[in-house]
Amino acid sequence: MFQLTSLPREEVLRYLGYQGSKIPPALEDTIGRCMEDTCRLASPAYLYRHFSIAREEDGIRLLGTPYSLKGQDIRSHLAGCEEIYLLCATLGLSIDREIRLRMLTTPEEALILDAGATAAIEETADAAEEEIADICKRQGLGITWRFSPGYGDLPLSTQKWLLPLMDAPRKIGLTVTESLLMTPGKSVSAIIGVTHLPSTPQQPEKSENKKNPCERCPNRETCAYRKRGNHC
């Protein structure tokens, strides 16, 4: 089981918009305390499942299932791949509840806690991705970067069958609402391609499949992170 013992401070500050800025001492204390609270309140959990795939004209079919990943962007992302992993991760409900509570009582702390939780779910998904990379590495294979429903032209509605296919509601309590929002809120889902290149998530330059996901994100023109020269 993955445990959160600390958070990458620079990532938390980046989500808060403080990257490179001087932070008042009092705020430093609050940030540190909220980062500790995030680690205490989060219950990180993740799942992944392997599938063989076949290419279709309008996307990628998951063999042995009735489902397909629709869109030319995911089709391009998985160019040369014959296998994929579906991945999902969550921090649980407690951190969601605490953020909502502090928004009513101490909004500044709620924003910091939210930034910490965003960094925490990325750390959790990274841990799952590293496990997948290790599995593939032992077979002389590599992986692509994570491609999530909602990226490019891959429909967000993919979530509706992707999570049940991994038995995520039962195993880690991760569901999707009718409005396609994941519950708990601090959760992610993604598709990772298995490549014949011995690359890793930390070596994106080795594969065309590892381009920055910002290039295909539908929010790239309005994204606050991109305006600051960063990415989510």
What confidence score (pLDDT) does residue 20 get?
Answer: 72
* Closest C-alpha to 190, from 152, 223, 159: 159
Question: 143 to each of 42, 125, 151, 195, how far by Cα in Å?
Answer: 28, 14, 18, 5
What confidence score (pLDDT) does residue 78 get?
Answer: 96
45: helix, strand or coil: strand
pLDDT in tens, 79-95: 999 999 999 999 999 99
What is the widest separation between alpha-carbon atoms in the chain?
A: 57
* Closest C-alpha to 49, from 78, 2, 87, 83: 87
> What are the strands, taking DSSP E only, across 10-112?
45-56, 59-62, 68-70, 83-90
What confidence score (pLDDT) does residue 105 get?
Answer: 96
| 8 Å CB contact between 117 and 39 | no
Question: 224 to each of 119, 131, 218, 229, how far by Cα in Å?
Answer: 16, 31, 13, 9
The whole-model pTM stands at 0.84
What confidence score (pLDDT) does residue 198 get?
Answer: 60
What confidence score (pLDDT) does residue 230 get?
Answer: 46
pLDDT averaged over the chain? 88
CATH topology of domain 9-227: NADH Oxidase (3.40.109)
In the 8-state DSSP scheme, what is residue 167? T
pLDDT in tens, 90-133: 999 999 999 999 999 999 999 999 999 999 999 999 999 999 99
